[in-house]
Amino acid sequence: MKLLKLYQPSCTPCQFVENFLQDQGVEYESINVQEEPDIAFQFGVMSTPVTILVDDEGKEVQRVVGFKPDEIEEVINKL
């Protein structure tokens, strides 16, 4: 399983997610949707932040849209 954080540099809630994930000590991959729009398209991301848990085959398991600490923690617990 892998955790993806899709964000935009100018997005304040994206920074909240970043800080939360760092505070949790979790490994994750940050994807700037402006630099990698193909990945955003692949996952159907229309706004940021989006935190996505994917399995070893890259298939989405769970998604959190926005900064929702309780839901993000639920995703982290599945890692």
Instruction: Give the active site residues.
Output: 11, 14
Which 3 state secondary structure label does DSSP give 3?
A: strand
Distance CA 7, CA 62 (A): 17
Q: Which among 70, 51, 46 is positioned nearest to 61, based on CA atoms? A: 51
Answer whether 13's CB lies under 8 Å from 67's CB: yes
Q: Which among 47, 51, 59, 46 is positioned nearest to 24, based on CA atoms? A: 51
